[in-house]
Structure 1
Amino acid sequence: MNIKRKELLVTSFGLFSLFFGAGNLLIPPLLGYKAGNDWFLIALGFIITAVIIPILGILAHARLQGTLFDFGKKVSPTFSLIYCIIIYVIAVAIPSPRTAAATHEIAVFPAFDTSPLLTSAIYFSLVLVFVLNRSKILNLIGKFLTPFIVIMLLVVISIAMFSSEFNTGISQFETPIVTGILEGYQTFDAIGAVVVGAVIIVSLNFDNMAIEAYESKRKLIRKSGLIAGLGLFIIYAGLIAVGAYYSSEITVNGELSNDMQRANLLRAISISSLGKFGNTVLSILISLACFTTAIGIVAGTADYFKGLLNDSKMVYVITAILACVLGVGVGQLDFNSIIVVAVPVLLLIYPITIVLILLNVLPQKLASSLVFRVVVIITFLFSIPDVVGFISPSEALKSITSYIPFANYSLGWVLPAVISFFAISFIQNNKSFKK
């Protein structure tokens, strides 16, 4: 079955928009601003965890064509069940409410001076309307919302680049690539890949997309994933470059929290490039980017629990309502508070998610059940010091982690995971050869 250009574009735009939320728009410019002449190195690190890993997650979904449960079932069904529940609870408790908080602080409050409760209530009411109209999500987002977001982003970046004097400052980072990698965690894109990828799979099962055959669906998801990834790459690199080139023209108050620095910088860039109209453009961008991401998260969570409990439509509706109510509650916190709460959670769950994505992309003969189990367990064990070190740092812990390569950068799990993968693969291949 041939893939129609319209289906490819709608799916690509829908996928891009489900990824692109508040963090994706706010984080890159400040990174570039602080990186100065090292902005390209920051961009390289950021793209690893904010583009490459997430798109590999979509490619894994294209192969599995199931749910998030399929990502971890080779470790064990029990592990996969627990992992899925944790991921979806995290998704509706942190990144989803964070989109409402960002929309309120940047787009709504400066213009209307309303309470976060009112903003969150209206915001998640609209999210719920879209989610309950499940079969229309991909078309509505892919045909209308995302093209508008992409066009506005490209206009802002292009005008800002041409308006800049192309002067960069001195980098504030000792290890720009590592900083970029870790900042990529805050986009939640790897977690987003395994959550919204399932949304795409389910959406393609509806009649309006007319996609049924496994190979046709796999081809469509793979191509749309690569197109969405290219779009993310261009937008991220552009935003980081703009932040770097405006570092000599815009002063950001270092005493402010990171989220306010990000918002103020992006607002200043928008106004410098588009005049007073720039503030309106930024508000619309933030609102739409946040809104589409929240839709993807809530729909993905509702889809999972619906499938878990006998494909019950009632479960889908109840889950969506509960996720939106939780979003209203947590959305009362400010953007920075939600990020602080998220850090230890990300340090634990993100490495496991990255490993599961990579293993599911590999050919099956290289990623046996034993490889899955050992690599995931090793990754989990070596991620614990990062979490403990963030929550309660101590000299005793530092003395232990000093022997673990990259542990100082919260990447102590990387080398043990790689070594365990090759070690188990070598042992298994050696046994097969002897037979």
Structure 2
Amino acid sequence: MFKKKEILITAFALFSLFFGAGNLILPPLLGFNAGNQWLIVTIGFCLSAMVIPLLGILAHAKLQGTLMDFGKKVSPTFSLIFSFFIYAIAVALPGPRTASVTHEMAIQPYWDISPWVTSSIYFGLVFIFAINRSRILGVLGKLLTPAIILILLFVIGITIFSFPFDFGTTNITNPFSNGILEGYQTFDAIGAVVVGGVIIISINLKHTDASYEDKRSMIRKAGWIAGLALFLIYMGLILSGALVHSAFPEDTTRTALLSGLAKQSLGNVGNIFLSILVAIACFTTAVGIVTGTADFVKSRCNDSQLAYTLTAIIGSVLGILIGKFDVGYIIIVALPSLMFIYPITVILILLNVVPEKWGSSFVFRAVTLTTILFSIPDFLNSIPALTPKPETFSWIPLQEYSLGWALPALATFILTNVFIRLSR
């Protein structure tokens, strides 16, 4: 059995791996726009940004393998393609976004420096750290996360007690589904299937004599603790954003709102300190993404160090090219890929959580294929130039909420299981 201290350390590690740039900048503006509907968007946001990632960790506790294991019941080829897309999206979108957040929060407010310069220096350093596999990042991560959490708790606490509970009216049409879709932008479901494997490897290396059940129990407990911490931070940041609706202009940006909250709560010094911590936290995330992607390619190329180096170079170059854009633009660009890959990721997580008797290979294949097919309309609707006429897919349930894949996937899951039972 694992000691309580080891469970807490693992929970802390999970929280650190999840808590990145998107987790910080997305909730406040979501609450700001939600107004008196802040609780509804909180539930939606936490469903996709906390509950699903938590289930991803529980799935890892069950599988105790790697990202490749999530889709193996569909087929080895599908699993490889799915893994490739996950890493490609990670290195092309959330990775570069960390440079953009760093520029807008830690560089732009204090120096007149081009985003090109910031992203070039930023990902030049990312490449150096990825090649040298420095352990400094691990040490920094252990120190950074408590500091960021402490500052955020101060920001949330001071804001809640400083502003009256007077919420503006919402300008969001569908608060619940909007919260879910905004939660996509944290990339936490994708993060769950990636970082869960890292946790498994770490536990296996440190506790070689631990049984499968002991490791599963420990990961599940740590996951629940990390999930609860994420929920409290998310709810606090969304509530804070909703409370300050009259203190910021309607067109305020995500980073400007977070910086403004920190400045109002902690003053200039506190805001500067938060900016520095966010910048370093973003940097550790970027290094982790580039390193993880390079490790994946290396493993598929007979452990070739050349493949690792070339992937690290490509990841860093993409970071420079995409990281120069502002955060809002990267979030808009990321939406189509998320509308397609996120439902597939969610379904694979759920299928790996259910008991084995309900998750046969046949069920995996049928439900995953259904999800892919019914994700296409949401994908098309997220691209302005390709947006079909509203009535084209109106027959699909929940299509107006960009969740057209959900009920067909559920129906396929139920029908395939009924078919299997009747066939026996």
Structure 1 and Structure 2 fold alike (TM over 0.5): yes
Map of 1:347 onto structure 2: 339
Map of 1:299 onto structure 2: 291
The size of the alignment, in residue pairs, is 423
Structure 2 residue 207 is matched with structure 1 residue 184? no
Alignment CA distance shift 1:313-1:341 (3 Å): same
Report deviation, 1:162. 1.9
Distance 2:52 2:291 in 1: 22
Once the two structures are overlaid, the 10-residue window that deviates more, 352-361 or 196-205, is 196-205
Pairs within 5 Å for 1:386-397:
386-392=378-384, 397=389
Distance 2:120 2:249 in 1: 32
SS in 1 for 2:110: helix
Structure 2 residue 263 is matched with structure 1 residue 271? yes
Once the two structures are overlaid, the 10-residue window that deviates more, 409-418 or 102-111, is 102-111
Distance 1:287 1:4 in 2: 34
Map of 2:48 onto structure 1: 49
Report deviation, 1:226. 1.5
The C-alpha deviation readout for 1:110-130, integer Å capped at 9, x for no partner, is 212223233223333443455
Q: Amino acid of the residue matched to residue 182 of structure 1?
A: L
RMSD across aligned positions (CA): 2.3
Residue 365 of structure 1 is aligned with which of 337, 357, 377?
357
Residue 371 of structure 2 is aligned with which of 379, 396, 410?
379
Pairs within 5 Å for 1:216-231:
216-231=214-229
Distance 2:410 2:158 in 1: 43
Report deviation, 1:394. 7.5
- Listed as ranges, the gaps of 5+ residues in structure 1 are 255-259
Alignment CA distance shift 1:396-1:117 (3 Å): closer
Report deviation, 1:81. 0.8
Distance 1:395 1:84 in 2: 28
SS in 2 for 1:400: coil
TM-score, normalising length: structure 2: 0.92
Map of 1:247 onto structure 2: 245
Distance 2:388 2:333 in 1: 24
Distance 1:278 1:396 in 2: 47
Q: Amino acid of the residue matched to residue 242 of structure 1?
A: S
Report deviation, 1:158. 1.5
Alignment CA distance shift 1:116-1:6 (3 Å): farther
Pairs within 5 Å for 1:34-433:
34-128=33-127, 130-132=129-131, 134=133, 136=135, 139-140=138-139, 143-206=142-205, 209-211=206-208, 213=210, 214-248=212-246, 250-254=247-251, 261-312=253-304, 315-392=307-384, 397-432=389-424
Distance 2:386 2:122 in 1: 42
Q: Amino acid of the residue matched to residue 66 of structure 1?
A: G
Alignment CA distance shift 1:105-1:126 (3 Å): same
Report deviation, 1:182. 1.1
Q: Amino acid of the residue matched to residue 395 of structure 2?
A: Y
Report deviation, 1:272. 1.5
Distance 2:327 2:374 in 1: 29
Alignment CA distance shift 1:159-1:130 (3 Å): farther
Distance 2:32 2:277 in 1: 20
Alignment CA distance shift 1:311-1:220 (3 Å): farther
Report deviation, 1:141. 5.3
% identical equivalent positions: 55
Report deviation, 1:427. 0.4
TM-score, normalising length: structure 1: 0.90
Distance 1:269 1:92 in 2: 30
Once the two structures are overlaid, the 10-residue window that deviates more, 39-48 or 114-123, is 114-123
Q: Amino acid of the residue matched to residue 262 of structure 1?
A: R
Distance 1:316 1:14 in 2: 25
Report deviation, 1:169. 1.2
Q: Amino acid of the residue matched to residue 377 of structure 1?
A: L
Report deviation, 1:238. 0.3
Distance 2:358 2:42 in 1: 31
Alignment CA distance shift 1:5-1:319 (3 Å): farther
The C-alpha deviation readout for 1:23-44, integer Å capped at 9, x for no partner, is 2111111111121121111100
Q: Amino acid of the residue matched to residue 376 of structure 2?
A: I
